[in-house]
Amino acid sequence: MFDQILQLVKEHIGNNPQVTSAIPADKREDVNNEIATHITNGLQTQAVTQGGAGGLLSMLQNAMASGSPVTSAIEGGLVSSLASKFGLPPMATGAIAGALPGLLQKFAHKANDPNDTSITPDSITKSLSGKLGGLGNLFNK
């Protein structure tokens, strides 16, 4: 799932001149990886609390605005991380945070598009199985 999210990040950020111009060229790859990592971790966390991939996708479809629980959960840590790790100014981190709802919307659209098999509810479930299984194993002990 990470590779697909990274590809979405590169496409979305690369097509957004406001965001692209705010990121130094020599830091773009690292910034893209950081964004993809935060999105992947945030989606995994939200999927656990939403009861799996189906609950996550439903929530993404119903709340694709800045300030939605999933966007807020990802945004806070991401903005802080980008500022501290890469020294990005508030203008850059704000532009990236503003791009998150669109990124998550693309993710949800791809996952629900029967003609696009790059991200599917099944692939999301499989990528979450270790996280969900780990929690299940913890509670079984």
Q: What is the pLDDT of residues 83-95, one digit of tens each?
A: 999 999 898 898 8
Q: Where are the domains of the chain?
A: 2-140
Residue 66 has pLDDT above 80, yes or no: no
Residue 138 has pLDDT above 90, yes or no: no
Q: What is the pTM of this model?
A: 0.80
| Rounded Cα gap, residues 14 and 88, in angstroms | 17
What value does the mean pLDDT of the chain take? Answer: 79
Residues 6+ apart with CB under 8 A from 1: 40, 43, 119, 123, 124, 127
